[in-house]
Every structure is written in structure tokens, then in C-alpha cells.
Chains A and B, each alone.
Chain A
Amino acid sequence: MEIEREPLTSSTEIENHEGAIIEDLRASSQNPLSDPTEWLEKTIERNILLTTVDAAINWARKTSLWPVTAFTACCTFEFIGASSSRFDIARFGMEVLRASPRQADLLVCGGTLTWKMAPQIKRLYEQMAEPKWVIAMGACAISGGIFHDSYSVVPGYNHIVPVDVYVPGCPPRPETLLAGIENLRRKIAQNSIKKSGTKR
């Protein structure tokens, strides 16, 4: 199907168009989305045939998690601290920082999310290829932190994208982030390709 897109030329036209997108996203996402829980009920009716295949694919997905970073504020430098020489997340195979969301499968979002930034994060999440997970890093990402009551701040990323793992702290220490990643890896290990289409 062909999307006809009228050419937006003048910058005021573009800004009004973007302002409208921000306004209706703000109106539509007042309450948080539910966290994905499909990996919970899967532990009950395991399909014997697929256990080894599940284990193999989950091991592969777990060991090579490629993050795309959606960082806005201070947590950027704690994630960079975590991926630098001292707390090296490359040991877990996460060091390939793919700047393009198509190839990434983990969205690490940290820092204060403002309403003007929300449509960008939503589009980034939708561009990512399917088995994808989200880590909300830092107090601002979980609930808006000390800026939660400001007029332009989204109280938490889960209003915009379903979040898998919350990493507390403002900013969280690199060790906390590594613990969060370890939790995510345990969560991935319980996925099954039988119902691999996650109900987002």
C-alpha cells in the first residue's frame, strides 16, 4: 500500500504538525500501559517438543542483546560508565551499540521523558524488530523522578512504551544497571517461541 505524504515545507507548518502530534499523544496516554506479562503464564503449559529449541534460541537472544539507547538526561553517563572499561557490559555481548533501532532488540531508556520527546520514543519503539525488551533506567524513567509534577514531564516511560525491567536509582549505579540486565536475561530465558508474538 502506498502512503501518500503531502510535502511539509515551511518550518512553522512542520512545527504545528509536530505540536498537534504531541498534544494528542499527551491526551491519549494519561495512564500507564500494562507491563508485558505473557512470559508468566508460559511457565505452566510448557511444550515438551520445543524445550531444547526454546533453550537454544533464548540462550542466543540472551547472550547477544544489542541495545539502542534512548537517553535524555543524566542516566546517559551512568550507562556510558557501565559500558566503559570498568563495568564492561561488552562481557555480556551488549557492546555493539547499534544506533539504528531496526537491528537492536533492547531499548534502554533513561533520563526525564518530556512530552515533546514522547512521540520520538514511541516511534523508536515501533521501529524496533519484534523480540524487543525495554529497560526503564532511573527514577525519572520509572515515575518522572523529582520532576514528576512538572508541566512538561511524562511521569514514567510506561505511559509510552511497555517496560520490562525497572532499574531504580537517580542515577542508578552501573552495578544496579548490570543487576537489571541480569534480571532481563532471566526473563528472556523463560520465553517460548510457541507464543513468540508478544501481546503488546
Chain B
Amino acid sequence: MNNWLISLDNSVGNFWLQFLIMAVFIIAFVMSSVIMFIWTERRVIARFQARLGPNRAGPFGLFQAIADTVKILTKEDIIPSLADRVLFWTAPAIAFIPTLMIMATIPFMNGFQMVDLNVGVLFISAVSAISAIGIFLSGVAGNNKYSLIGAMREIAQLISFEIPMVLSLASLVIACGSMSLTQIVAAQNVPNIILQPLGFVVFMVAILAEINRTPFDLVEADSELTCGFNTEYSGMKFALLYLTEYSEAVVGAALITTFFLGGWRGPFLPGIMWFVVKMIASFMFILWLRSTLPRLRIDQSMHLAWKGLLPLALVNLFVIALKNVFFPDLSLWISVPVYILVSVLVILLWAGFLRKGRKSLVV
């Protein structure tokens, strides 16, 4: 199927056709995976809590997410009287569209990709900040004190976790020489999680904070700020925000698979199957964290970002650069165990330092 797509590529008229096909595919992919993730989340978290998840709506509760969406869409759409009307309308859109834009650059299969940007990594880190601004605007627009606090926390968390994420991606770019995602996936005959474990740890924690999932779900902390930024939304606009929350999780899982788990590469199954399997695996990890870990305080999460992740990201960048410059052709059998040892050592050392500074973490 994909070589038929590649053959289309050259003539101009066909470009628009290929563009249209891919746009429809991406929207269908995101929507269906969001619906599937909603169902998975409610069932898996229920399993963690020793109870049955929704199982009355269709076999195994499969139509639960469909019922949720149909119900939310047919609900009344309230705009609070003191809310900032224009901002209230546009904020959910600003929050949702960037997630689709990121999906546009992710390679689902060999040639099967919307557009092969050669500045893919730069584009992704830039666009992921816009969706956070969308969430911030939706918090501010609702004229509700709880959502205002949620919005402020969103901005504080985004800024402090942006830099470790970009640095860990930078070390990836150094390792495989180009910023385009297809090259990164192509260079990964050994998945990067093994080549750069420290980079993976930093990127994983940063992505968790970007998509506001526990232990960093301070923005929508339902025990402190009732519902965080989406307290004032109802009906269609809330459906969009609810969609954003899950599509960010889809995008987060997709980024983890393309950068660190080897994207669509895998022995027997066709590419897209591997991509979906790896995406579900990383989403399960996120769910596991969501149902077991308590929540960090906002200053603790920023403290973790600046004093914890940033140094680790710098060490990771330094070691990868060192390896590329001095012994570029070191065989894998030596460099991988050494680097795993170094990263475990650095993490334990740094955690010890942070724990000894426990008072600083608490104050």
C-alpha cells in the first residue's frame, strides 16, 4: 500500500490527493484511538482498583466512550455571564489543534506519513507549547478562581518541563544525525531506550508533565481544584477539552514510541501494527502511574524539573556528544552496558543529592 503512496508523490496534483488521504487518516486515527483510550483507561483503572469497569454499554462496555461523547454533545452549552466570550469559544480549539499538527509529522509506517519535515523535532517541541497555552486560556477565560489557579499551574509546569524535554530530544538528534522523524526511526535498528536510557527517563517524565498526567496532574487536580481548567465548560466545548486531554495522551504515547521504542519497526507484523502495539504499551505505563502515584505539589514539580531533570538531561547530552566525537564506531556490546551503568549511577547519585536536600524539596 505504501509504495502506491510513494509513487503518487511526484506530480503536483497528486500531492493534494495524498495530503487529503493522510489528513483523513490522521483525524480518523486520533479520534478512534481517543475513543479506545477512554475505554481502556476506565477499564484498566477499574482493574487496578479491584472493581469492574463499565460493562453495561455493549459487550465489555465497549460502547461506553461512544455513549459518553453522544451525551456530552447533546448537552446544553453554558457560557458563564462574566466569562470572556471570545476567549471562551476559541480556547478549546487552540488546545486541540496542536495535537493534530504533531500527529501530522509522526511516521505511522514506512512511507506512510503526512509530511516528512526535516525539522520534525523542532516543530514538535514548538507546537506542543501551543496546546499548553490553549489550556491556559481555557482556564483564564472561565472567570472561575479554581480554573485560574489551574491555569497558572499549567504555565509554570510547562515552562519548567520544556527544557529537559528539548535537551533529551537534542541528544537523540546528535545520535542519529538528523532531525527528521523518519531518519530517527530509520536509525533505530536498536531502539533508543537501550541506547540512551537516561534520555528516555528524562523524556518520559517531561512528557508526563506536558500531558498533565499523574504524578504531575496538578492542572486538573480534582481533589484541590474541583476540575481545574475545565470547571466552567459544558456541552460541546467540554467535549473538545475532554478530547484534548486524551488526544494529548495519544500524542504523548506516539512520541514515546517514535523516539525511543523504535517507531513502526518490528520483526514480523506490518509497520502500523507495531506502532499501535507500542503506543498502547506506553499508554498502559501512563495508566499504571495514574492509578498508583500521589500528586506532587507545584513547587515540588518545578523543583524536580529545574534541579532534577535539567542536570540529567545535560549529562545525557554530554555523554552522547562525547561518544559521537571520540569513539563513533564503538561496538554496541560495549557502549550499551557502559551507558546503562553510567545512567543508573547518575540517577542514584542525583536522587541521593535531592533526597539529602529533602528539606529543600519540602520548603
Which residues from A are CB-within-8-Å of B76?
129-131
A63 touches B81 (CB 8 A): no
Q: Which of B49, B55, B71, B231 has the most CB of A within 10 A?
A: B71
In the complex, what's the smallest C-beta–C-beta distance from A49 to chain B, in angstroms?
17
Task: Kindly provide the distance from the CB of A101 to the nearest chain B CB, expressed in whole angstroms.
Answer: 9
Residue of B nearest to A99 (CB): B226
Measured between C-beta atoms, what is the minimum distance from A3 to chain B in Å?
Answer: 6
Q: By CB atoms of chain B within 10 A, which of A63, A92, A105, A129 has the most? A: A63
Within A160-199, the residues touching B (CB, 8 Å) are 193
For residue B190, CB closer than 8 A to chain A, the reply is no
CB atoms of B61 and A93 under 8 A apart = yes
**Which of B46, B72, B233 meets A90, CB within 8 Å?**
B46
Q: How far is the CA of A193 from the CA of B74 in the complex (A)?
A: 10
> Is B52 on the interface with A (CB-CB < 8 A)?
yes
- Chain B residues lying within 8 Å of A130, measured Cβ to Cβ, are 75-76
B84 at the interface (CB under 8 A from A): no
- State whether B235 touches A63 (Cβ < 8 A): no
Contact flags B193-224 to A (C-beta < 8 A → 1, else 0): 00000000000000000000000000000100
B359 at the interface (CB under 8 A from A): no
Chain A residues, Cβ within 8 Å of B51: 84-86, 88, 90
Known: A91-B52, A99-B222, A103-B227. A63 touches B75 (CB 8 A): no
Residues A123-158 near B (CB distance < 8 A) = 127, 129-131
Interface size on A, residues (CB 8 A): 31
Pick from B50, B56, B74: contact of A57, CB below 8 A.
B74
User: Does A102 sit at the interface, judged by CB under 8 A?
Assistant: yes
Q: How far is the CA of A190 from the CA of B263 in the complex (A)?
A: 49
Interface residue tally for chain B (C-beta within 8 Å): 37
Residue among A84, A95, A193 having the largest count of chain B Cβ atoms under 10 Å: A95
Whether the Cβ atoms of B67 and A103 lie closer than 8 Å is no
**Pairwise interchain contact A93-B70, C-beta atoms closer than 8 A:** no
Segment 87-125 of A: residues with Cβ below 8 Å from B: 88, 90-93, 95-100, 102-103, 105
Residues of A within 8 A of B238 (CB): 102-103
In the complex, A60 has a CB within 8 A of chain B: yes
Are A64 and B71 touching (Cβ within 8 A)? yes
Residue A8, interface by CB 8 Å: no
Whether B82 sits at the interface, judged by CB under 8 Å, is yes
Chain B residues, Cβ within 8 Å of A102: 78, 231-234, 238
**Residues of chain B within 8 A of A64, CB atoms compared:** 57, 64, 67-68, 71
**Which among B49, B63, B68, B234 is the interface contact of A129 at CB below 8 angstroms?**
B234
- Cβ of A77 under 8 Å from chain B: no
Residues on B with beta carbons closer than 8 Å to the beta carbon of A127: 78
Mask of A64-89 contacts with B, CB within 8 angstroms, 1/0: 10000000000000000000111010
Residues of B within 8 A of A105 (CB): 71, 75
Q: Is the CB of B78 within 8 A of A131?
A: no
Contact of B67 among A60, A88, A95, A98 (CB under 8 A): A60
Are the C-beta atoms of B78 and A129 separated by less than 8 Å? yes
Question: At the interface, yes or no: A26 with Cβ under 8 Å from chain B?
Answer: no
CB distance B52 to A88 under 8 Å?
A: yes
Q: Does B290 contact A (CB under 8 A)?
A: no
0/1 per residue, B65-107, Cβ < 8 Å to A? 0111011101111100110000000000000000000000000
Chain B, residues 232-250, CB within 8 Å of chain A (1/0): the string is: 1111001000000000000
B46 x A93 contact (CB < 8 A): no
Task: Pick from B55, B72, B75, B232: contact of A91, CB below 8 A.
Answer: B55
B54 contacts chain A at the CB level, 8 A cutoff = yes
Beta-carbon contact of B46 and A88 below 8 Å: yes
Judging by beta carbons under 8 Å apart, are B64 and A3 in contact? no
Contact among A92, A96, A99 with B56 in the assembled complex (CB-CB below 8 Å):
A92
B83 to chain A, nearest CB (A): 11
Whether the Cβ atoms of B68 and A93 lie closer than 8 Å is: yes
> Is B303 interfacial (CB-CB < 8 Å)?
no
Given A61-B74, A93-B57, A193-B74, 12 extra CB contacts under 8 A = A63-B56, A64-B68, A84-B51, A86-B51, A88-B46, A90-B42, A90-B53, A91-B52, A102-B232, A102-B234, A103-B72, A105-B71
23 cross-chain CB contacts under 8 A? A3-B81, A56-B70, A61-B71, A63-B71, A64-B71, A86-B51, A88-B46, A91-B52, A91-B61, A93-B56, A93-B57, A95-B42, A95-B53, A95-B54, A96-B42, A98-B227, A100-B230, A102-B78, A103-B227, A103-B230, A103-B238, A127-B78, A129-B77
List residues of B whose CB falls within 8 A of some A CB: 42, 46, 49-57, 61, 63-64, 66-68, 70-72, 74-78, 81-82, 222, 226-227, 230-235, 238
